[in-house]
Amino acid sequence: MGMKEVRSILNDIKQGHVKPVYFLSGEEPFFIDTISKYIEDHLLQDHEKSFNQTVFYGRETTVDDVMTVAKRYPMMADRQVVIVKEAQHLWRTIEQFEPYVSNPQPSTVLVVCYKNRTLDKRRKLAKEVRSRGVLFEGKKVYENRIPDWISQAVKARGFSISIKGAHLMAEFLGSDLSMIDKELEKLAVICKPGTEITPEVIEENIGISKDYNNFELLDAIGSRNAKKTFAIVGHFAENPGNYPLVLTLSLLHTFFTRILKYHALSNKRDAPRVLGINPFFVKDYQTAAANYSMKQASAAIAVILETDRKSKGVGASAIPQEELLKELCAVLIR
């Protein structure tokens, strides 16, 4: 499950279809936090929260403590909200929630945040949650899917974003969905609804350079553009904290591995699926494959791995990372 399911759950709540139990599990904490925070912020009015909203933390409580409060009646309100954060620390006793979930207090909304864990679907607790409430399992969004996630999140806010802009944000912000969401909120305040979030807008408001980034470095190396390559590397050298060598090397390794895969394709129309890329970027790999034979791409991967070893002090004295990157790029585009 992903953001589509999260929006569906939130829309049901907004329409008044509130379940007595929300069991939020899975590898992606952003999804769990989004649902939990919405319930915490919106289900009760502010004056009702002091008596009718209780937050537990898994490290500091027991299942029995939570169920005792959940069975209470609300005070001067239609419902009470009981939230268990960090419930993964209760994993040894989590099945003890089953008696309560089998017969939940109708005026209580119980929210269990079970991060980085999932319920055993064969056990009775999972079956009872599904029967009477919401059993959500948030799947991890892997790095190659982050640009698509950004595009969908932007669309949900009433904007659009260029493919290049989505990849630029993903390259700079990584896979932390919470951080990405905060930056998108910032852009949503600045931009007019219906407009496109371009690389220029991203550069001006988030601080990502649209010209000097790993995304552009791959493009420069793939086209064997020495001038552009060393302009970007020079910018990296002046701002080492923003461009860690380990990330650049990882992206270069993936880039040349994909070039090898592109060469091996009997049907180039399969490139987006086999390479795991947006069709928009196939032309970049066509260009790179024309500039690097399979033998050259293999040699490039070997040099990248050697640079990675040197960066960790293996077989070389302490060489500044910016110098290692300059040496690597000189070899790659010669």
Please give the average per-residue pLDDT across 158-177, as a whole number: 88
- Residue 56 belongs to a domain with what CATH number? 3.40.50.300
Taking the C-alpha atoms of residue 123 and residue 103, their distance in angstroms, rounded to an integer, is: 16
- Which residues constitute the domain of residue 251? 214-333
The last residue of one of the domains, among 104, 120, 138, is: 138
Q: What secondary structure does DSSP assign to 125-155, as a single string?
A: HHHHHHHHSEEEEEPP--GGGHHHHHHHHHH
As a whole number, the mean pLDDT across the chain is: 93
Q: What is the DSSP letter of 192?
A: P
* Tens digits of residue pLDDT in 50-72: 999 999 999 999 999 999 999 99
Mark whether 229 and 290 lie in a shared domain. Answer: yes
- Looking at the structure, tell me whether residues 220 and 196 fall in a common domain: no
The answer to whether 96 touches 64, Cβ cutoff 8 Å, is yes
- Give yes or no: residues 133 and 148 share one domain: no
* 321 lies in the same domain as 260: yes
By CB atoms closer than 10 A (0-12, 13-18, 19+), residue 72 is middle
Q: How far is CA 16 from the centre of its chain?
A: 29
Q: Are 133 and 20 in contact (CB under 8 A)?
A: yes
Of the pLDDT bands very low, low, confident and very high (cuts 50, 70, 90), residue 199 is confident
pLDDT at 192 (0 to 100):
86
Entry field: residues in the chain: 334
Q: Are residues 326 and 219 in the same domain?
A: yes
CA atoms of 35 and 326, how far apart (whole Å): 46
Residue given tokens 């829309």 in the structure block: 11
Distances (CA, A) of 297 to 253, 277, 280: 10, 18, 22
Residue that wins the pLDDT comparison between 315 and 141:
141
313 and 199 housed in the same domain: no
Calculate Rg over the CA atoms of the chain.
25
State the first-to-last Cα distance of the chain, in angstroms, to the nearest integer.
46
Residue 121 C-alpha from the chain's centroid = 25
| pLDDT, mean of residues 154-181 | 89
CATH number at residue 152: 1.10.8.60
Q: How far apart are alpha carbons 80 and 74 in whole angstroms?
A: 5
For the segment 67-125, what is each residue's pLDDT rounded down to a tens digit?
Answer: 999 999 999 999 999 999 999 999 999 999 999 999 999 999 999 999 999 999 999 99
Q: Of 96, 115, 138, which residue constitutes the final position of a domain?
A: 138
Q: How many distinct structural domains can be found in the chain?
A: 3
- Residue pair 281/219 in contact (Cβ under 8 Å)? The answer is no
Residues 162 and 179 in one domain: yes
Q: pTM score > 0.85 for this model? A: no
Which residues, in sequence order, are CB contacts of 265 under 8 Å at separation 6+?
Answer: 271, 274
Instruction: Mark whether 131 and 151 lie in a shared domain.
Output: no
| Residue that is last in its domain, among 138, 169, 197 | 138
Whether 133 and 170 map to the same domain: the answer is no
The C-alpha atoms of residue 207 and residue 213 are separated, in whole angstroms, by 11
Q: By the 8 A CB rule, do 123 and 97 touch?
A: no
Q: What are phi and psi of 261, to 5 degrees?
A: -65, -40
pLDDT of residue 317: 65
- pLDDT of 315 > 80? The answer is no
**Residues 124 and 157 placed together within one structural domain of the fold:** no
Question: In this predicted structure, what is the pLDDT of residue 282?
Answer: 94
Q: Which two tokens stand for residue 268?
A: 């180039």
Mean pLDDT, residues 195-214: 87
pLDDT at 201: 87
Q: Are residues 7 and 79 in the same domain?
A: yes
CA–CA distances in Å: residue 12 to residues 6, 288, 319: 10, 48, 57
User: What is the DSSP secondary structure assignment for residue 27, as one 8-state letter?
Assistant: S
The reply to whether 78 and 130 lie within a common domain is: yes
Cross-strand partners of 135: 23
Q: For position 316, what pLDDT does the model report?
A: 61
Q: Which two structure tokens, joined as six digits, stand for 98?
A: 């089953």
**pLDDT for 285:** 96
Flag whether pLDDT at 294 surpasses 90: yes
In the predicted structure, residue 1 carries a pLDDT above the cut 70: no
CATH of the domain at 249: 1.20.272.10
Judged against a pLDDT cut of 90, whether residue 319 lies above it is answered with: no
d(CA 53, CA 66): 12
Residues linked to residue 197 through DSSP beta bridges, in sequence order:
161
User: Which residues, 6 or more positions from 120, have their beta carbon under 8 angstroms from its beta carbon?
Assistant: 126
